[in-house]
Structure 1
Amino acid sequence: MLRPAYSEMPLEPPASWQALPYGDWLKEQVEAGLDDWWPRIFGYHLLKLGALADSLPTGLCPVSHQFGLDPNRGAVRAELAHLPLQTASIDAALVPFCLEFHQDPHAMLRELDRVLISGGHLVLVGFSLLSPLALGYLWPSHHQQLPWSGRLFTPGRVQDWLSLLGYRVLTQECIAHHTMLWSPQKFPTAQRWLADLCPGLGSVYLIIARKLEAPLTPAKQRWHLRRPLVARPVREAVGCRNKPPVAACNPKRHHSSS
């Protein structure tokens, strides 16, 4: 049974890449995974949400205006679920490792959906629950350490949230096939073997989705109400009311010969 996405207790997000296990190596993996997609994202404004987004290089993205937003740093300081931005004013948003460390990830996605334009791109990076990273939960001492202190979700669950908001997932890729319990330099053959045989079991997922807007065209009426068949016109029926039967209403009366 899935746990609710909402957390009763506030969660502490990582303040920098170095706060995560082998953060510099993890940052390189994320950079390499997104480099092929940045040239395909266009627009005027790129929002980089969270403390980790501002330090990710996005020079390959042709969007001219790029700015960071975080409660404690960045060009704009605000809560992630209460963005001080106009509705439909952002062309793309980069959101690395924010959903799993936010108390209400649904509210964050709804707020991002509000500020994104129709056709805008949403770039999500997160830790996957179905991965070698989940081995860290076997040690209780890791439960209070990053990233296991957050609420990890599966990529499929995140895609379900996006589909409910009306997004089309362009790509979903898993990278960093590593437990993050020891140095990535150890057992490189095992990592390559896992990436080749089970590419969907990476510890980090990359999801790039596009916001779709339903067309406001009226639906054609495919059926019509059948009118009841009137056997006698109303005027005639009123004229013949309270009169003798057919013979009385007939202007031509037949008289029998004497």
Structure 2
Amino acid sequence: MDSAASEKSIIALDHWLQTPVGAYVRSWEQSCLDELTADIFGYNAVQIGLPQIDLLAASRMPNKWQAATRTSSASELELSVTGKQIAVALDFAELPFASSSLDLVVLPHVLEFAAEPHQVLREVERVLIPEGQLIIAGFNPASLWGARQLVGAALHSHYLPVAGEFISMPRMKDWLKLLNLGVSRSHFGCYAPAFRSTKWLGRFAFMERTGQKYWPYLGAVYVVHAIKRVKGMRIIGPAWTKTKAKAPATVPAANSTQKNHHR
């Protein structure tokens, strides 16, 4: 898939997210990301793609940016009125950020529509600081929606947007591992069958709880949370913790010296 085709696919996803099933996905992802990002601390965070969804809304970082494609419409980029800073990236495979400059990057459905998903991940790894964090949202091919998409491809009636490739969770973890991006947590959601109407999706809302309990890895959408690991680097605690640990050992030694002196 070339860059132009990739951007057209992302535009198709933008339109799909405005449908009832797209609203269902947006609601779950917003809830999941709000919970995750609220506990991630730092200074600089970037959401790459889908500017119409604010997945950094709950983040408490002082600097939050949005990176979009050059084909994003003016209405999609009018998010500055909400106070969010906008940065337009011409190509997700060449991010306009300095190396080791970002604490958090969020990739909602970017890799499965990207012309070069591996290069996008390499760029993300480059711009993240050591111990920086990455959150990826994607469609799960091992789900009811994934099966419906396969049937739809044969019948020329797609349920999800036509994409270059939906990436399974095990494969995604392998990609991340190669870049020393260790998976911290993973979440699955959207267990309702592949209906198109709000009415029928609502009738099967109970499957959200049932799916989490009985078939947790078969949700139609997943979120992966990873951390950039740097070999040979280790986070150490404050210096005073070491002083405290040594204190009990030095006191008896000092007392022993004093006793010998008096003798």
TM-score range, shorter chain: 0.7 to 0.9
- Gap runs ≥5 in structure 2: 78-85, 235-263
Q: Which residue in the other structure is 2:87 paired with?
A: 76
Which of residues 204, 222, 237 is equivalent to 1:205? 222
Offset of residue 167 of structure 1: 1.4
Report deviation, 1:17: 4.6
**2:177: which partner in 1?**
163
1:231-254 CA distance string (max 9 Å, x none) = xxxxxxxxxxxxxxxxxxxxxxxx
Rg comparison, structure with higher value = 1
Report how many aligned residue pairs link the two structures.
Answer: 209
- Could you say which residue in structure 2 is the equivalent of 1:100? 112
Of 137, 141, 144, which aligns to 2:156? 141
1:166–1:68 Cα change, 3 Å: same
**Further displaced range: 65-74 or 77-86:** 65-74
Q: Distance in 1 between matches of 2:126 and 2:207?
A: 43
Q: Where does residue 238 of structure 1 map in the other structure?
A: none
Amino acid in structure 1 at the alignment position of 2:210: W
Residue 17 of structure 1 contacts residue 27 of structure 1 at CA under 8 Å; is this kept in 2? no
2:156 alignment partner AA: S
Q: CA deviation at 1:136?
A: 2.3
Give 2:63's aligned residue.
65
Between 1:17-26 and 1:122-131, the stretch displaced more is 17-26
Structure-2 separation of matches of 1:212 and 1:54: 31
Match of 1:29 in 2: 28
| Cα shift at 1:102 | 0.7
Tell me how far apart the structure 2 counterparts of residues 175 and 213 of structure 1 sit (CA, whole Å).
Answer: 31
1:55 maps to which residue? 53
Give the CA deviation at 1:142. Answer: 2.9
Give the 3-state SS of the residue equivalent to 1:195 in structure 2: helix
Aligned residue identity for 2:181: Y
Question: 2 CA distance for matches of 1:41 and 1:210?
Answer: 11
Please report the TM-score for the alignment, with normalisation by the length of structure 1.
0.73
Q: Is the 8 A contact 1:14 1:146 kept in 2?
A: no
Is this contact kept in 1: 2:9–2:163, CA < 8 A? no
Counterparts of 1:98-247 in structure 2, within 5 Å, are: 98-134=110-146, 135-139=148-152, 140-143=155-158, 146-183=160-197, 184-215=201-232
Q: Secondary structure at the match of 1:171?
A: strand
* Runs of 5+ unmatched residues, structure 1: 1-6, 218-258
